């Protein structure tokens, strides 16, 4: 055995494996094919002989599995003698049709359509098409905008403005929304912070007038100055080098009594518009789930300005002007607390320093209770930071459940496409071979029938798994839209984030990490190899079947 060439050994193994799964009535035939294998001339011919035989035995095994011997027909008579067992064929066709129908019925359910769309998100990277969010901008948002303009619906206009990538269009829609309903002036903040702000056309000033206590408009102004400086390649190295406009904006921001990012208003607006226009798109519901609502430079600007205030305070302290120094430290502490742990993550060191210096000043003035309070607040920062980091890590990784559900949704969506394509190929092949569209004249071969049957069963199972895996998330979305319940939004966000990765991405095998670009590369590499293989087989078959001319 071991002296046999590899193809012949493989051929023997293949047939032996097929015999091991063959039903009782096909065993003799399996051994017959195996017996002949020894006499087949040529190693590769032997392998092809084995492949054909194994296919026959596998088909019998599948038929025996689906139709137990007791249910299979006995000898047919007359005209059906060689047309395979008619009752079995009818039953197979019946089951196939029922499975296809059941799979199609799934599409009638809105939840399933949502799930199917989510399962397609993994293809965006592979096929280099737009991300789901921008794709929505093209289709759903255009439709929504048309309805919003017809109805003069300020909230829907604001909803579209917040999701439109075109800055001038976003600004136009925001202006229209505010004109219709001045209570929506906060949209200027969201539109101005989420996208790169354009030239100031009075929108930020309008926002500052509308909500004068809020620090956010001043942070947006500071960011505009930053961007202007970067564009002019005049990047300041310290706060002292910053333009006066920047320092004024930051000073006003630090003196403001509140910092409202309007995220709550945004979520509430989203919810109302999603419900009013029946937009059943989970990606829209979690659009702002992982966004802090501050301009990109806000944390860095705040951190730099706080550091500058602390230095100024130290200088004042050195001049024994404790009262002025206290004012500077208190401004840092108050703004740091206002930003909270999420926004003030980058200001943590400055905030801690401010508490430490405030504690030292209180000690100097003999206020022991105040000094102890500042020391406690400084200590709390470290603990809160650790807790927040752990929470972020968990939130970033997501739970195992959302990981597995995203995997199942991606896999079942992929299989559904595969089985659907296989089924379509079977039907097209059958119509071409029969040269007719009439159902009565379509006579599928055993292989076509087996493929169609397996595809139909596969499509039904994939549909069921897709539906069941996505079901909990449709409830989360429904609860958020109908009742404003945000309890599952974080989980939904993790699930959707994982669903957008192509299947296989994110795997870690030892030190080898499979990234999105690797999956995309291997996918197209595989497709190229398969195409090349198909062309090679077609050419080989062409030359094998071409009638040979004999030499004269």
Does position 429 bind another protein by CB under 8 A? no
Does position 83 bind another protein by CB under 8 A? yes
- Measured CA distances, 111 to 15, 93, 103, 281, 501 (Å): 46, 29, 14, 10, 21
Does position 450 bind another protein by CB under 8 A? no
CA–CA distance, 32 with 110 (Å, rounded to integer): 54
**Start-to-end C-alpha separation, the chain:** 44
Cβ–Cβ under 8 Å, residues 261 and 295 = no
Query: Closest Cα to residue 110, out of 279, 277, 287, 284?
Result: 279
Which of residues 34 and 409 has its CB atom nearest to another protein in the complex? 34
Binding mask 213-242 for another protein (x = CB under 8 A): ------------------------------
List the one residue from 1, 69, 70, 81 that touches another protein (CB under 8 A). 81
Which of residues 23 and 497 has its CB atom nearest to another protein in the complex? 23
Cβ–Cβ under 8 Å, residues 193 and 222 = no
Query: If phi over 0 gives left and psi between -120 and 50 gives alpha, with beta otherwise, what is residue 366?
Result: left
Q: What is the DSSP letter of 183?
A: G
Does position 313 bind another protein by CB under 8 A? no
List the one residue from 17, 21, 51, 468 that touches another protein (CB under 8 A). 51
Q: Whole-number minimum distance, CB 94 to another protein, in Å?
A: 22
Does position 44 bind another protein by CB under 8 A? no
Which of residues 80 and 349 has its CB atom nearest to another protein in the complex? 80
Q: Whole-number minimum distance, CB 69 to another protein, in Å?
A: 13
Does position 509 bind another protein by CB under 8 A? no
Does position 56 bind another protein by CB under 8 A? yes
Which of residues 77 and 549 has its CB atom nearest to another protein in the complex? 77
Which of residues 53 and 502 has its CB atom nearest to another protein in the complex? 53
Which of residues 29 and 418 has its CB atom nearest to another protein in the complex? 29
Cβ–Cβ under 8 Å, residues 399 and 406 = no
CA–CA distance, 329 with 323 (Å, rounded to integer): 10
Does position 80 bind another protein by CB under 8 A? yes
Taken as a whole, the chain contains a residue count of 552
Does position 311 bind another protein by CB under 8 A? no
Which of residues 68 and 202 has its CB atom nearest to another protein in the complex? 68
List the one residue from 82, 150, 437, 508 that touches another protein (CB under 8 A). 82
Does position 547 bind another protein by CB under 8 A? no
Does position 35 bind another protein by CB under 8 A? yes
Tokens of 259: 């910092």
Does position 39 bind another protein by CB under 8 A? yes
Cβ–Cβ under 8 Å, residues 355 and 376 = no
List the one residue from 38, 147, 397, 541 that touches another protein (CB under 8 A). 38
- Phi and psi at residue 76, in whole multiples of 5°? -80, 170
| Three-class SS of 128-174 | CCCCHHHHHHHCHHHHHHHHHHHHCCHHHHHHHHCCCCCHHHHHHHH
Cβ–Cβ under 8 Å, residues 91 and 67 = yes
- Phi and psi at residue 101, in whole multiples of 5°? -65, -45
Does position 78 bind another protein by CB under 8 A? yes
CA–CA distance, 22 with 369 (Å, rounded to integer): 86
- What 3-state DSSP class applies to 355? helix
Cβ–Cβ under 8 Å, residues 195 and 165 = yes
Q: Which stretch binds another protein (CB under 8 A): 34-42, 186-194, 315-323, 456-464?
A: 34-42
Q: Which stretch binds another protein (CB under 8 A): 78-86, 115-123, 151-159, 314-322?
A: 78-86
List the one residue from 14, 49, 173, 423 that touches another protein (CB under 8 A). 49
Q: Which stretch binds another protein (CB under 8 A): 82-90, 120-128, 498-506, 535-543?
A: 82-90
Of residues 379 through 418, those in contact with another protein by CB under 8 A are: none
Q: Whole-number minimum distance, CB 20 to another protein, in Å?
A: 16
Does position 23 bind another protein by CB under 8 A? no
List the one residue from 52, 110, 212, 526 that touches another protein (CB under 8 A). 52
Cβ–Cβ under 8 Å, residues 162 and 188 = no
Report the 10 Å Cβ neighbour count for 365: 12
Query: Closest Cα to residue 57, out of 6, 7, 8, 16?
Result: 16
Q: What H or E segment, with its residue span, contains residue 513?
A: strand 512-513
Query: Closest Cα to residue 286, out of 467, 149, 491, 122?
Result: 491
Does position 63 bind another protein by CB under 8 A? no
Does position 55 bind another protein by CB under 8 A? yes
- What 3-state DSSP class applies to 421? helix
Does position 34 bind another protein by CB under 8 A? yes
Which of residues 38 and 258 has its CB atom nearest to another protein in the complex? 38
Binding site for another protein (CB under 8 A): 26, 28-29, 31-36, 38-40, 48-53, 55-56, 75, 78-84, 446
């Amino acid at each position: 055995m071991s002296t046999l060439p590899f193809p012949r050994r493989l051929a023997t193994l293949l047939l032996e494996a097929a015999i091991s799964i063959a039903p009782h009535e096909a065993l003799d035939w399996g051994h017959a094919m195996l017996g002949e294998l020894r006499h087949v001339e040529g190693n590769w011919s032997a392998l092809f002989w084995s492949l054909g035989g194994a296919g026959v035995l596998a088909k019998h095994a599948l038929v025996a599995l689906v139709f137990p011997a007791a249910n299979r027909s006995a000898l047919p008579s007359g005209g059906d003698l060689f047309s395979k067992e008619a009752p079995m064929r009818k039953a197979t066709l019946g089951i196939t049709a029922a499975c296809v129908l059941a799979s199609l019925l799934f599409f009638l359910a809105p939840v399933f359509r949502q799930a199917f769309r989510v399962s397609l998100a993994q293809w965006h990277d592979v096929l280099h098409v737009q991300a789901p969010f921008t794709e929505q901008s093209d289709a759903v948002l255009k439709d929504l905008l048309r309805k919003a303009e017809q109805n003069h619906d300020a909230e829907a206009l604001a909803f579209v403005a917040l999701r439109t990538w075109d800055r001038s269009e976003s600004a136009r829609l925001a202006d229209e929304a505010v004109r219709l309903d001045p209570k929506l002036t906060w949209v200027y903040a969201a539109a101005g912070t989420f996208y790169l702000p354009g030239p100031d056309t009075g929108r930020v000033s309008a926002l500052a007038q509308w909500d004068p206590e809020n620090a956010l408009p001043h942070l947006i102004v500071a960011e505009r100055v930053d961007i202007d400086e970067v564009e002019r390649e005049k990047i300041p190295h310290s706060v002292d080098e910053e333009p006066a406009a920047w320092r004024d904006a930051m000073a006003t921001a630090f003196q403001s009594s509140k910092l409202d990012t309007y995220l709550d208003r945004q979520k509430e607006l989203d919810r109302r518009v999603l419900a009013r226009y029946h937009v059943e798109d989970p990606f829209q519901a979690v659009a702002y789930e992982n966004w802090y609502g501050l301009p990109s430079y806000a944390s860095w600007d705040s951190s730099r300005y706080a550091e500058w205030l602390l230095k100024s305070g130290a200088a004042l302290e050195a001049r024994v002007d404790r009262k002025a120094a206290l004012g500077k430290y208190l401004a840092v502490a108050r703004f740091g607390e206002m930003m909270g742990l999420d926004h003030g993550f980058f200001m943590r060191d400055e905030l801690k320093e401010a508490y430490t210096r405030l504690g030292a000043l209180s000690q100097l003035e003999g206020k022991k209770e105040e000094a102890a309070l500042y020391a406690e607040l400084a200590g709390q920062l470290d603990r809160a930071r650790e807790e927040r980091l752990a929470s972020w890590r968990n939130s970033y990784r997501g739970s195992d459940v959302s990981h597995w559900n995203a995997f199942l949704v991606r896999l079942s969506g992929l299989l559904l496409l595969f089985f659907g394509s296989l089924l379509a190929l079977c039907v097209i092949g059958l119509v071409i071979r029969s040269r007719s569209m009439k159902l009565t004249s379509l006579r599928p071969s055993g292989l076509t029938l087996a493929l169609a049957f397996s595809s139909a069963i596969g499509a039904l199972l994939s549909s069921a798994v897709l539906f069941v895996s996505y079901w909990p998330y449709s409830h989360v979305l429904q609860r958020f839209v109908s009742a404003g319940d945000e309890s599952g939004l974080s989980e939904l966000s993790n699930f959707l984030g994982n669903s957008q990765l192509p299947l296989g991405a994110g795997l870690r095998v030892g030190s080898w990490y499979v990234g999105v670009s690797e999956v995309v590369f291997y996918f197209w590499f595989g497709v190229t190899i398969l195409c090349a293989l198909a062309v090679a087989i077609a050419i080989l078959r062409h030359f094998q079947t071409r009638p040979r001319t004999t030499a004269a």
